Structure 1
Amino acid sequence: MARACGLGLLLALLLPMVSASMPGTVVRLNKAVLSSVSEIGKAPLQRALQVTVPYFLDQSGEGLQPTRIQILNVRVSRLDLKFIADLGVHLLAAANFTFKVFRIPEPLELRLPVVLQADARVAQGSIGTPVVSISTCFSLFDNAIAFDGSNSSTPALLVPLQQHINAVLRNKLCLSVSSLVQGLNVHLGTLIGLTPVGPESQIRYSMVSVPSITDDYISLGLNAVLFLLGKPIVLPVDVTPFTLPQHVGIDGAMATVGLSQDLFDSALLLLQKAGALNLDITGQLNSDDNPLNTSVLGRLIPEVARQFPQPMPVVLKVRLGAKPVATLRANNATLQLQPVVEVLAPTSNSAFQSLFSLDVVVNLSLQLSVSKVKLQGTTSVLGAIQLSVASSNVGFIDTDQLHALMGTVFEKPLLDHLNALLGMGIALPNVVNLHYITPEVFVYEGYVVISSGLFYQR
């Protein structure tokens, strides 16, 4: 089945330019992919064309002699693919068949050049996968040539022998191509499988419309649904249908993938609902790297020094109440977090008491990259962290004095945690064994584009 993918790699990551439903993902395969697919497709096509030829009834001697014929070798010397607007893909293959005719007293070897042409229709399957079928197929046969280059030794045999072979191959070759395509459809079905995002979350892509096909590309509209504990993540507002402009990314790239703002919003909502963005930052006594203790706080807040004459470690409980906001502008992606940070210290009975809590606004620069089939991200802080007091059990707090401390004890743990999450990545549309190679990521107003090559790992 996987071998069938060489012929169908062209169709294995069909990427669209039509409107997609929420959240919208658009992918387009361009002409540049065709030559690569043609080379990969030769080997599986050669194997598929290695069919069985029934016995030939030889009438050149006395009576009818059943003669066995075997295909020794099939060599596909040429495989060309091109897009057919509103249909799918046209295939043209040139192959040389080598036959061994077990004729008595001496066997005969023949070479038969064949040209095979077929049109493959690409449609939308009932379960949201691409479905490929052969709509037309035919073969053109040249004259068979005896392997020793001499046809004069068997002139009476060659004509009926070739007629027999042609009649058999005319049907069997097209049936073999159809069978190859059916195996490809099973492989294409892996597009809709659930792919893990985190321990309790997954993403699933599926087609939402019929393919859009022109002479220059083939495309699909995909719906990306994120799941948390088996339940879909649904954005709280209606989303706008996403379309991918014609000229974005890199001209000549094999694949162009468009990811809408809604996909990013859905992914961030999943992280919030899963609690993945929450963290606890624990201070250590006698630590120059993390001066998060009551002694340091007491220098800034007198009431803390009064309540804790002896240094005690402090814990920051970072909880994200508001949904993170991703903003996509031309060549610029940013992320805003608005966590509530509660500052706690241990009491004598080993419980923790709340000293105060802060409303925090953190603006982050978001850098995106692709590894194999995953979109990954890293962040860095933009500007100063904004602080305001939400509640206090230690009297007045001067937030200006807290800024330097928060930058030391809060910023780095937050970035480490966030970058570890974003580094896990989220799967892009793909089928088994197909990877993105040399990808480049572009940020546009309201969407992201990935221009990439494709690599099929056999």
Structure 2
Amino acid sequence: MKLIFLAMLLFLWVSPMSMTSTDIVIRINQNGFDYGAQTQREHLQHVLSNMSIPDPKTNKEKESCGVIGRIINKGNILGAGHTLVGKMVNLNEVKIHHVKLPKLAVKLVPGVGPHVCMDIDFKISGKHAIFGETEIKVRATVLTDIKVSKTPKGHVTLAVTDCKPIIRDMDIKFGLGLVNTVIWALQGQIREMLGNRLCQSVSSVLEEVNEDFDVSTEKNPFGDKVSLKYTLQKTPVVTGLYMEMLLNAEYTVNNQVVKLHNDTQEFTMPPGAGNKDTMVNLAFSKDYFSLLFIIGQESGAFNLEIPSTQECLANQMSTSALGAHIPEISSRYPQPLPVDMKIVLSQTPVVTFQNNQLIVQFAPYVEMFVVLPYSPDRYQHLLTINVGASLVAALHVEEEKLKISVSLQGDLKLEFASISFGKCKSKPSLLSEYMRTVFEKAYLPYINEILSVGVPLSTMPNIHYINPVIAIEKNFAAMSFDVRYE
């Protein structure tokens, strides 16, 4: 049954319809960034451990020996060229043996973006041409500003806008003892080598994260011809408490984007909404849910044919069962005959938020046909009745999918559209109990089976939602949750 929803989407909108995009607001709180930083600690250590540090060049005065080298060599004190000076101040075959990040913190800076502060401890070895094996311990701090923006395709992208490497402490040990002059020169060389590559390493990590963002916004197919992707509508906004992103849920059918045009104002999430103690808060607009139900209605997925043999409606699908409520039917068909039924949702469902509930107004019409076993016209129209149903939608999240189920609220509103068994003085309300049984035993379970396939939510590889809680607010549905990185 779940495959029905997948299949029905394949037939949507042979020609593009005019519809508005649906909005989702995502707020990532400070503790979400704190957790994200910690999950990346090991990866950062790995990247820093594998930094490529080339051997120093000795063919350039500035890179070889700095001020001392230039003075000495211009006076030709140590002979032609830079050979001896280069040997004195340069370290070769540099290897990083151990990297540790005792501090890794992210702070949200309004108008700037995430500010990252890292303390890094290095254990490095190298070979000095004169003094032999050399061991170096370095403590560095890297201060980085990161800008969060959007690509032309609507993907999130991160970029380093400012990076300041600070070499705080350095301990150098030679195998043949200490030489202060050489240590002073080597410190300058190491500062230059590490400083440049620390910022390059941070940028390389962000490039990998950007690739994950690209994956997270790729299409999530419901079927071969239907897909869904989430795109940024605007550049994310960073406050001191959270980063906010406004997403568009974009459906594509046969490579055509499905849109919804209406006069609603741009959806926003109130500043104090959501749970500040969770890592992430999401807000779903009314249009988000409207489009889901429009997809089902326009495709015919919410239409149902109920045969007289339907097990869940045993003893209900006959003229005698209907005649118990409408006497004229019993008069027209004194001998019980089976009845088939067709429920067609011809009108667009209307979604509203009322009293902390998500309400969906369904208005299908129900056609009933008497089955005549021995007649050339096997199916004889009995009646058509318009039904107004108010459904309460319950929301839950499972495997990073938003799942919906509906239940009947209040009484059905019934109106005869056509009658084929003669004059009828009975009121359609006499069928209320009967139609409620049909809805609760057959129609709503069918709709819920279709909806149970779920809608994929925006996420990243290896990220799982933890303890998602959904609440219906005045004008939107709010979801709060933590995340786990695996």
Fold-level match, TM-score > 0.5? yes
CA distance, structure 2, for counterparts of residue 363 and residue 107 of structure 1: 81
- The corresponding residue for 2:290 is 265
Which among 437, 440, 452 is matched to residue 408 of structure 1? 437
Structure 1, residues 35-88: CA drift from partner, whole Å, max 9, x if none? 211211111211221212223589699889873111112111211111121121
Alpha carbons 1:233, 1:266 under 8 Å: kept: no
Alpha carbons 2:326, 2:431 under 8 Å: kept: no
- The corresponding residue for 2:38 is 39
Which among 368, 374, 391 is matched to residue 395 of structure 2? 368
The verdict on how the C-alpha distance between 1:158 and 1:319 changes in structure 2, with shifts beyond 3 A counting, is same
- The corresponding residue for 1:117 is 143
Alpha carbons 2:326, 2:430 under 8 Å: kept: no
The verdict on how the C-alpha distance between 1:344 and 1:410 changes in structure 2, with shifts beyond 3 A counting, is farther
Which among 383, 408, 411 is matched to residue 381 of structure 1? 408
- The corresponding residue for 1:107 is 133
CA distance, structure 1, for counterparts of residue 311 and residue 117 of structure 2: 75
CA distance, structure 2, for counterparts of residue 70 and residue 39 of structure 1: 26
* One-letter identity of the residue aligned with 1:354: H
Displacement, 1:141? 1.1
CA distance, structure 1, for counterparts of residue 350 and residue 94 of structure 2: 69
- The corresponding residue for 1:248 is 273
CA distance, structure 2, for counterparts of residue 257 and residue 290 of structure 1: 47
CA distance, structure 2, for counterparts of residue 287 and residue 334 of structure 1: 26
The verdict on how the C-alpha distance between 1:271 and 1:257 changes in structure 2, with shifts beyond 3 A counting, is same
* One-letter identity of the residue aligned with 2:443: L
Structure 1, residues 153-190: CA drift from partner, whole Å, max 9, x if none? 23355433332222111111111211221222222123
The verdict on how the C-alpha distance between 1:382 and 1:61 changes in structure 2, with shifts beyond 3 A counting, is closer
Alpha carbons 1:233, 1:269 under 8 Å: kept: no
CA distance, structure 2, for counterparts of residue 62 and residue 220 of structure 1: 54
User: Following superposition of structure 1 onto structure 2, how do residues 339-350 of structure 1 map, counting pairs within 5 Å?
Assistant: 339-347=364-372, 348=374, 349=376
Which among 112, 121, 143 is matched to residue 96 of structure 1? 121
Displacement, 1:438? 1.4
- The alignment partner of 2:351 has SS state of strand
- The corresponding residue for 1:336 is 361
CA distance, structure 1, for counterparts of residue 90 and residue 287 of structure 2: 71
- The corresponding residue for 2:106 is 81
Alpha carbons 2:132, 2:175 under 8 Å: kept: no
The verdict on how the C-alpha distance between 1:132 and 1:277 changes in structure 2, with shifts beyond 3 A counting, is same
* One-letter identity of the residue aligned with 1:364: L
Which among 436, 446, 453 is matched to residue 424 of structure 1? 453
* One-letter identity of the residue aligned with 1:352: Y
Tell which deviates more after alignment, 436-445 or 300-309. Answer: 300-309
TM-score by length of 1: 0.85
CA distance, structure 1, for counterparts of residue 109 and residue 312 of structure 2: 68
- The corresponding residue for 2:170 is 144
* One-letter identity of the residue aligned with 2:395: L
Matched, 1:48 2:47: yes
CA distance, structure 2, for counterparts of residue 346 and residue 435 of structure 1: 52
Which among 144, 153, 172 is matched to residue 127 of structure 1? 153
The verdict on how the C-alpha distance between 1:210 and 1:43 changes in structure 2, with shifts beyond 3 A counting, is same
The verdict on how the C-alpha distance between 1:270 and 1:454 changes in structure 2, with shifts beyond 3 A counting, is same
Displacement, 1:120? 0.9
Alpha carbons 2:90, 2:189 under 8 Å: kept: no
User: Following superposition of structure 1 onto structure 2, how do residues 284-299 of structure 1 map, counting pairs within 5 Å?
Assistant: 284=309, 289=314, 291-299=316-324
- The alignment partner of 1:408 has SS state of helix
The unaligned stretches of length 5 or more in structure 1 are 1-20
- The corresponding residue for 2:27 is 28
RMSD: 3.0
- The alignment partner of 1:185 has SS state of helix
- The corresponding residue for 1:323 is 348
* One-letter identity of the residue aligned with 2:179: P
Matched, 1:216 2:241: yes
Identical aligned pairs, as a percentage?
26
Displacement, 1:287? 7.8
Structure 1, residues 79-134: CA drift from partner, whole Å, max 9, x if none? 11111211211111111111122458863332211111111111221111122111
* One-letter identity of the residue aligned with 2:472: V
Alpha carbons 1:365, 1:381 under 8 Å: kept: yes
* One-letter identity of the residue aligned with 2:243: I
Alpha carbons 2:406, 2:448 under 8 Å: kept: yes
Matched, 1:155 2:198: no
CA distance, structure 2, for counterparts of residue 321 and residue 287 of structure 1: 25
The verdict on how the C-alpha distance between 1:368 and 1:393 changes in structure 2, with shifts beyond 3 A counting, is same
* One-letter identity of the residue aligned with 1:52: S
- The corresponding residue for 1:67 is 92
Which among 473, 481, 485 is matched to residue 444 of structure 1? 473
Tell which deviates more after alignment, 58-67 or 402-411. Answer: 58-67
Matched, 1:455 2:480: no
Tell which deviates more after alignment, 416-425 or 116-125. Answer: 416-425
CA distance, structure 2, for counterparts of residue 123 and residue 266 of structure 1: 27
Structure 1, residues 223-266: CA drift from partner, whole Å, max 9, x if none? 22233444333335322111111011222221121211122222
Give the greater-gyration-radius structure (CA).
2
Displacement, 1:331? 1.8
- The corresponding residue for 2:231 is 206
The verdict on how the C-alpha distance between 1:236 and 1:126 changes in structure 2, with shifts beyond 3 A counting, is closer
The verdict on how the C-alpha distance between 1:151 and 1:83 changes in structure 2, with shifts beyond 3 A counting, is farther
Displacement, 1:343? 1.0
- The alignment partner of 1:183 has SS state of helix
Count matched residues.
435
Matched, 1:239 2:271: no
CA distance, structure 1, for counterparts of residue 312 and residue 392 of structure 2: 30
Structure 1, residues 355-396: CA drift from partner, whole Å, max 9, x if none? 111101111222212224222222221122222211111232
The verdict on how the C-alpha distance between 1:327 and 1:125 changes in structure 2, with shifts beyond 3 A counting, is same
Tell which deviates more after alignment, 256-265 or 367-376. Answer: 367-376
